Structure 1
Amino acid sequence: MTSGAPGPVAEPPSPPPPPASVYNIANLLTMVRILLVPLFVWLLLKDTTAWRLGAFAVFAAASVTDKIDGDLARKRNLVTDFGKIADPIADKALTGAALVALSVLGQLWWWVTIAILVREIGITLLRFVVIRYGVIPASKGGKLKTTLQILAIGLYVLPLPGFLQPVAWVTMAAALIVTVVTGVDYLFHAWRLRRSALGR
Structure 2
Amino acid sequence: MQPPAPTPVSNFNLPNLLTTLRIVLVPFFGAALLVDGGDSAVWRTVAYVIFAVAMITDKIDGDIARARGLVTDFGKIADPIADKAMTGMAFVGLSVIGDIWWWVTIVVLIREWSVTLLRLSVLRRMVIAADQLGKLKTTLQVVALGGLVLPMRDPDLPGWLQTPGDVLFYVAQVCLALAVVLTIVSGAQFFWRVWTERHQLTSAAPSR
Same fold judged by TM-score > 0.5? yes
Counterpart secondary structure, 1:198: helix
Q: 1:129 to 1:29 in 2, by over 3 A?
A: closer
In structure 1, the partner of 2:71 is 79
Give the C-alpha shift of residue 192 in structure 1: 0.7
Indicate whether 1:67 and 2:73 are aligned: no
Aligned partner of 2:15 among 26, 31, 42: 26
Q: 2:47 aligns with which of 40, 55, 76?
A: 55
For 1:8, the equivalent position in structure 2 comes to: none
Distance 2:69 2:126 in 1: 22
Q: What is the CA deviation profile of residues 119-165 of structure 1, one whole-angstrom value per residue up to 9, with x for unaligned ones?
A: 01111222244446522222111111111111110010011233442
Whole-angstrom distance in 1 between the partners of 2:193 and 2:124: 14
Task: Report the aligned-residue RMSD.
Answer: 1.9
Unaligned runs of 5+ in 1: 1-11
1:13-162 matched pairs, under 5 angstroms: 15=4, 17-46=6-35, 47=38, 48-131=40-123, 134-160=126-152, 161-162=165-166
Counterpart amino acid of residue 67 in structure 1: K
Query: Is the alpha carbon distance of 1:132 and 1:58 closer, same or farther for their aligned partners in structure 2, counting shifts above 3 Å?
Result: closer
User: Under a length normalisation based on structure 1, what TM-score does the superposition of the two structures give?
Assistant: 0.88
Structure-2 change in CA distance of 1:71 and 1:133 (3 Å): closer
Structure 1 residues 131, 33: CA separation in 2 closer, same or farther (over 3 Å shift)? closer
* Structure 1 residue 117 displacement after superposition: 0.3
Give me the identity figure in percent: 52
**Does the C-alpha gap of structure 1 residues 133 and 164 become closer, same or farther in structure 2, counting only changes over 3 Å?**
closer
Please, which runs of 5 or more residues in structure 2 have no aligned partner? 153-164
Cα distance per residue 1:45-91 (max 9 Å; x no partner): 01211111111011000110000100110011111100100000000
Higher Cα radius of gyration: 1
Q: TM-score, normalised by structure 2?
A: 0.85
Code of the aligned partner of 1:172: L
Which residue in 2 is equivalent to 1:199?
203
**Letter paired with 2:48:** F
**Aligned equivalents of 2:134, 2:73: Cα separation in 1:** 21
Do structure 1's residue 178 and structure 2's residue 182 form an aligned pair?
yes
Q: How many residues align?
A: 189
Runs of 4+ with >3 A deviation: 12-17, 128-133
